[in-house]
Structure 1
Amino acid sequence: MPNYLVFLGTARESTPPAPARLGLRVARACVQLLEADGATVELIDPLAIELGAVFKPHFAYAKGRAPEALDDLASKIAAADGYVMVSPEYNHSMSPALSHLLNHFGSSLFAFKPSAIVTYSAGQWGGARAAVAMRTFLAELGCLPVSAMIHVPKAQEALDEEGRFQEDPDRWAGYFGRTLGQLSWWAEAAAEQREKQDPTEVSPAFQRAPDQRNAP
């Protein structure tokens, strides 16, 4: 049974925009569709995680000294088979709430697993421009995004507060399903290959310092 994390890329509870936390509807739709396909899924909400006022990534702490919330999420990231990244668009790029959360963790936790890009908006574009920037971000993080993406324009009309499609549910489910189906296919393939060979044997993990990335 595959295990996925759905990362919610909004931490705003105020309006505008209205309704508040529109992305939660989109994230819940992803959770429900993946669970209906037999997966175990957890929604990761940045509002539920205490990151601290000063940025310090999980890997920068001495062993055993990281905050419990970061340790718990690091363990969940390492154990997951794939990831769904749900984001609105900010200045033609991804949500700062999402990038800030993800930047707390090293790429070795995400590596050799797939991800899916899901964007949304209250307007007509569905956050599509954010998705372009997310491709390079997620590739560098190690969880390569699948080719199909999900864009939800006027998400407040498409989904209710529980993440249920309000009109044309079969059409929307099919649209989401193309991307989530790719995610599941690659997640299963990657899991099988990890059983055959430890990926760190062919590409050692970066776990010590950023200068590990430097070329000779």
Structure 2
Amino acid sequence: MNNRILVFYGSYRSDRMGIRLAEFVVERLRRRGDDVELIDAKTINLPMLDRMYKEYPKGEAPAALEQLAQKIRAADGFVFVTGEYNWGVQPGLKNLTDHFLEEWFWRPAAIVSYSAGRLSGARAGTAWHGTLSEMGMVVISSTVAVGPIGQALSAEGEATGEAGAALEQAFPRFANDLMWWVEAGKAQRQRKAPPY
């Protein structure tokens, strides 16, 4: 049985380098046989958060919110690909994520961070860990951190240089850890309904 994984990416910048990393993650998970979809915040283009999905009367949420809520509820796990902006998280990805709450519950999440510098988005990854945990996800301990992003992946998404080699080396364990938690969560949800 395939695992349904959503990969979230949140940059709204014109010359997005991190999209290469998001597409790399999608492609590598698909190679493993998983059912993977990229959710690009810029493409969905939700407004700044005014009202969460759950705050709309049933059947009255905007179509983009309704469709995304259904995808999140149907997923077995999540990967958040996040750049680091001034020691913090990308506002586009945070805005998309904050539109939902209960839809995230009881599934594992993994963090892939990147930056233009040598710290590879580690500070954003750390910030996301607490945020995703607060939103009801089990955040796995394995992470992937890529930097400098411009030297790690070519325009075609191929790993290049030392940063690309490190990514290729780290990804299999990261994916294995995520899938262990995905399968554990699926088994538990089949055995016993979540308490709320």
TM-score normalised to structure 1 length: 0.85
Gaps of 5+ in 1: 14-19, 205-216
Aligned-residue CA RMSD (Å): 1.5
Q: State the aligned residue count.
A: 194
Q: Distance in 2 between matches of 1:183 and 1:4?
A: 10
CA distances 1:76-99 after superposition (whole Å, capped 9, x unpaired)? 000000000011112322111111
SS at match of 1:27: helix
**How many angstroms does 1:190 deviate by?**
0.5
Q: Does 1:49 align with 2:44?
A: yes
Q: State the one-letter code of the partner of 1:148.
A: S
Structure 1 residues 113 and 53, CA gap change in structure 2 (3 angstroms): closer
2:149 alignment partner AA = A
Q: Which runs of 5 or more structure 2 residues have no equivalent in the other structure?
A: none
Look up the SS of the partner of 2:126 in the other structure. Answer: helix
Q: Is 2:49–2:98's contact at 8 Å kept on the other side of the alignment?
A: no
Q: Find the counterpart in structure 2 of residue 132 from structure 1.
A: 126
After superposing on structure 2, the runs of 4+ consecutive aligned residues of structure 1 that deviate more than 3 Å are 167-171
What secondary structure sits across from 2:22 in the alignment? helix
Out of 83, 92, 97, the residue aligned to residue 78 of structure 2 is 83
TM-score, normalised to structure 2, is 0.93
Give the equivalent residue in structure 2 for 1:145: 139
**Comparing 137-146 and 164-173, the one that deviates more:** 164-173
**Whole-angstrom CA distance in 2 between matches of 1:82 and 1:32:** 16
CA distance 1:194–1:53, shift in 2 (3 Å): closer
| Pairing 1:182–2:182 present | no
Q: Quick one: distance in 2 between partners of 1:50 and 1:9? A: 10
Match of 2:8 in 1: 7
- Report how far residue 9 of structure 1 moved: 2.0
The residue aligned with 1:213 is none
Structure in which a larger fraction of residues adopt strand? 2
Give the structure 1 partner of residue 112 of structure 2. Answer: 118
